[in-house]
Every structure is written in structure tokens, then in C-alpha cells.
Amino acid sequence: MTLEISRIDPFDDDAVDAWWDAYAEAERADRGRDAVIWSREETRKELQQDSSVSERRAYLLRDRGAVVGCASLGLPLKDNTHVAHIGIGVPPRHRRRGHGGDALAFLEQEARSAGRTTAQGSTSWPYELGPEGAGSPGREFARRHGYALALGDVQNRLALPVDPALLDRIDEDIASAIAGYEIRSWAGRIPDDVVESWTVLDATLETEAPTGDLDIEPQTPDVRSIREVEELLESQRRTSFGTIALATDGTAAAYTQLVVSADDGNAYQWGTLVRAADRGHRLGIAVKVANLRILQHEAPQTPAVYTYNAESNAHMLAVNALLGFRPVERMGELQKRLR
């Protein structure tokens, strides 16, 4: 084996640049030149953060001194501590030499050594290849190495701006259904008076939203973890836009969040969830419309919103279609037991 795998120092600019170059080349080769990926500086800031939520490790793959790929390992520290998040990127010119397989075996052993019993990762492919992604390099690599497709997602794109007349019509249509709720929106950090309620709802997202066969457990609400994420966003020059629907007792019945990247200019949909007890009141579309309004007012130059939804989440996909989202890509959430 000639492959050398070395963990990088996130404060070594040359090493991070080499890691990101391999990552970007591999992603764009499989997904197209217009694939939306994390920017170089966003990646650098995430790797540099001293996180209490997740241990992040990044590795360079070298063959006879030349960089041939990159790898990453994410180890949750507070919730789902049985899981390891694995990522590998090998540009096409370095494939078919066993580098990806060697890196995967290394990461799996690192995960086992950290006490993890489930490995998870993801790979994306063009929408036209269908839900299984047959023939896409990442999907076929995962299949060969025992990773099952635990959840299939669709990436949708919304070209901005959305016609305000459409938003007005939707608001008129849902006004009576949401009459008992207060809708609040903001840019930046979550206001102190609602952050705890937001956190309680956000902690259920990974298990209340469709999860397929993913081996994940509910998170523990933790305001400090939310604030840590906000600190990272600020260091990355990202701007968060949030909207919450408050029930009469002041608790969060629904929420949604968009995050705008200063580097590529796009908005990315983060969580959207309606509390189980409050479903049927059209709160999902209500908070999304309100959040689009503040986004278009505060960041009118934003060209598009990108979002991922489980292919099985017919309700949210219908909401997005009503707003004008169109499917552009698919992503598979992959999983393998390490026992």
C-alpha cells in the first residue's frame, strides 16, 4: 500500500487548501460544475472551530507524496454518540487505484476505535439518474463497500425573487387556519426570548422528519449548542434568517431557517418543522412564506434557495412546489453497521 493518510492541522492554510481542492474537484466531477458545495473559507472556519458538539477530523490522502484525495470523520459528542459521519473525495484522475477503499477502511477503524457502531455518509447524483442513483460513482462505491441507502433525498432549487403577489395569495389563503398563532421573523441570532422554545422543537427535527432506516435518536435540547452553531455562522460570514410560529402559551409550534452564504450568495434551507400537535393548521407554508419575505427584503441580491427533502416527504415537497421549487439533484444518505 502506497497510500499515506495524514490528519491535517486546520490552522495550516496549505493543508486546508489542498484538502478543499481535492474535495471540490471530486464533487464537481460527479455532480457538475455548478454543484453547490461549501466554499474554501467556510470549510476552513468549520475545521478550526473548537466545538463541544462534534469532533471534526480532516485527512489528506497522498500517493508517493502527491495529494490524491481527502477524507473526513465527524464524531458527535452530545447526541447520537454511536454514529460516525464519514466522507471521502477522490478526483477522477486518481480513481481506480484503491485509494478510496483504503481511506474508507481507515476511517471505519478510526470510528470503531472511538466506540462508534454505525457509520453514515452521503453522496449526490444528477436528478435524472433516479432515486437509486444507479451508475453514479459515489453510489456504486458505497454499494461495493456495504453501505445501504438509508434515506433518499431530493435537492430542490427556488429561483429568486419569488413574486410577492404569490406570497400575498398564499397568506390570504391560510390566514384563517393560522389565526391562533403569532408569526415572528428575524435576521441573525435567534432572539433570547424564543431561543429555548426554538431549541426544543429543533431537537426533534432529525426524528420527526422522515428518517427512513437511519440509526439516529432524538437530540437533547441545548441552547448552548445552538449558540455555538450561530458563532460558526458568523465566523463564516453566513447570515441566518429565522421564522417561528408561537402558540398561545408562547411555545414554538413551527419554525424554519434559511442561511445565506456570503461566498456563493445562495440561501440554503436548514430546518423546517411543525410540532406534531399543531399540524393541520398550514403552519409549514406560513413560516416558509414569512421567511422568504424577510430574506427578499434583507438580502434582495440572493439568486436562489436550495433545500433537501426526503423523497418520501410528500407534504413538504408539495409545499415547496407551491412556492416554485424545482428538483435539480438527488442525495443518498448512506449507512453501515460497524459491529
Res. 211 pLDDT band, cuts 50 70 90:
confident
E strand spans, 29-117: 54-63, 66-76, 83-89
* Lowest-confidence pick of 37-51, 60-74, 310-324: 310-324
Q: What are phi and psi of 4, to 5 degrees?
A: -110, 130
Say which CATH topology domain 3-116 has.
Aminopeptidase (3.40.630)
Q: What pLDDT score was predicted for residue 1? A: 56
Task: Count H helices and E strands in the chain, helices first.
Answer: 10, 12
Cα three-residue angle 292-298-301, rounded to 5 degrees = 85
Domain covering 157-332: architecture: 3-Layer(aba) Sandwich (3.40)
Res. 93 pLDDT band, cuts 50 70 90:
very high
Average per-residue pLDDT for the chain: 96
Output the CA torsion sign for 215, 218, 224, 230: positive
Domains 3-116 and 157-332 fall in the same CATH topology = yes
* Lowest-confidence pick of 56-65, 197-206, 261-270, 288-297: 197-206
Whether 24 shows a pLDDT value over 60: the answer reads yes
Res. 268 pLDDT band, cuts 50 70 90:
very high
Pairing of strands 83-89, 118-126: parallel
The predicted model scores a pTM of 0.95
Mean pLDDT of 26-51: 94
CA distance 62 to 102: 12
194 or 339, which is more confident:
194
Cell of 238: 453566513
Q: What are the sequence ranges of the domains in the chain?
A: 3-116, 157-332
Whether 68 shows a pLDDT value over 70: the answer reads yes
CA distance 327 to 320: 10
CA distance 200 to 277: 14
Q: What pLDDT score was predicted for residue 306? A: 98
Q: Buried b vs exposed e over 213-234: b needs ≥16 C-beta within 10 Å?
A: ebbbeebebbeebbebbbebbe
Percent above pLDDT 70 for the chain: 100
Mean pLDDT of 277-283: 95
Res. 327 pLDDT band, cuts 50 70 90:
very high
Q: Is 295 exposed, middle or buried (0-12, 13-18, 19+ CB in 10 A)?
A: buried
21 in Cβ contact with 66 (< 8 Å): no
Cell of 45: 472556519
Q: What pLDDT score was predicted for residue 49? A: 98
Whether 208 shows a pLDDT value over 90: the answer reads no
CA distance 107 to 88: 9
Res. 218 pLDDT band, cuts 50 70 90:
confident
Mean pLDDT of 146-166: 97
